[in-house]
Amino acid sequence: MEYFLQQLINGLTLGSIYGLIAIGYTMVYGIIGMINFAHGDIFMVGAFIALIAFVAIITLGITFIPIALLLVLVVAMVFTSAYGWAVERIAYRPLRTSFRLAPLITAIGMSIVLQNYVQIVQGARVKPLQPVITGGYTLMESSDGFAVNLSNIQIIIIGLTLVLMYTFSQLIAKTSLGRAQRACEQDRKMASLLGINVDRTISLTFVMGAALAAVAGMMFLLLYGVIDFYIGFVAGVKAFTAAVLGGIGSLPGAMIGGLLIGLIEVFWSGYFSVEYKDVAAFSILAIVLIFLPSGILGRPEVEKV
């Protein structure tokens, strides 16, 4: 029981990171009906920006952890959002009226460009970060000495994910930007005729998704303490899988999918062979989509005629 509870905590922590990345996929798809395959590398860029910000803040002598974390979070979100905006302007806006494969190809191209850009600028070696947030709580301990631990960084990751999920859900449900996004999702041409700035709405959607990816990148850095230029590809594929599993186009579905992927990975690694954890995740995705083609919370597409 203790081991199960520990794996559950670990799975929820990892799933929270996947869920935040998956929201970026599902927001973009919900509005323009296309997958931003450069989004995983935006997450990677956010992690590197967070690392650089940590080094800069420590150099400036800011050692009070809450202030340092807040500054790093703001810097990572701002600069990563600029990368998200650039991806939309370069890879999507000029090709929005082209055939559907064109933006997909350019998005893959942007992914490769971002990977190689970071590799050239930061080098191919892994970049470590000393533990910033330490300590935690022992929830229970078994008779054989196995202790269930909940670290402070895990509490922060899960708590911040819940706060961001609620905030973005309210933003989309109750603000003018959210109404514009939902209008563009239903019919971009009609939304434009009604006075909505479609280009700005789509750009802001990319910016919001990139900001969430930056938060996920910072949390990944704090949790594991090491990053490299290739983490975006692996995390991006798993986050995209989470978005499809939860129902592409649904924000709660993306978060549920992320949590499920994280739990599947961690439990499979804990009870079976760690080498096949990705196989298990994709196999369960295939099984779910056989019975629920639209995902857990997805809505079937209705073709407009």
User: pLDDT, tens digit, for every residue of 182-230?
Assistant: 888 888 888 888 888 988 999 999 999 999 999 999 999 999 999 999 9
Residue 305 in any domain: the answer is no
Q: Tell me whether residue 2 is in a domain.
A: no
Indicate the range of 84-88, 203-207, 290-294 predicted with least confidence.
290-294
Q: pTM for the whole thing?
A: 0.91
At 128, which helix (H) or strand (E)?
strand 127-128
- Looking at residue 33, its amino acid is G
Query: With bands split at pLDDT 50, 70 and 90, how would you rate the model's confidence at 244?
Result: confident
User: 3-state DSSP call for residue 216?
Assistant: helix
3-state secondary structure of 64: coil
Query: Do 212 and 20 form a contact (C-beta atoms < 8 A)?
Result: yes
pLDDT band at 157 (very low <50, low <70, confident <90, very high): very high
Write out the residue range of the structural domain in which residue 221 sits.
19-232
Interior/surface letters 72-97, b for 16+ CB within 10 angstroms, e for the rest: bbebbbebbbebbebbbebbbbebee
202 lies in some domain = yes
For residue 10, being part of any structural domain is answered with no
The answer on pLDDT for 251 being more than 50 is: yes
| Assigned domain for 30 exists | yes
pLDDT over 90 at 304, yes or no: no
Lowest mean pLDDT among 87-91, 264-268, 293-297: 293-297
Number of domains comprising the chain: 1
Cα 200 to Cα 76: distance, rounded to the nearest angstrom: 22
Confidence of residue 27 (pLDDT cuts 50, 70, 90): confident
Q: Which of 75, 89, 103, 104 is nearest to 206 (CA)?
A: 89
Confidence of residue 301 (pLDDT cuts 50, 70, 90): low
In a domain? residue 222: yes
Q: Is residue 266 part of a domain?
A: no
Q: Could you tell me if 206 and 88 are in contact, meaning their C-beta atoms sit under 8 angstroms apart?
A: yes
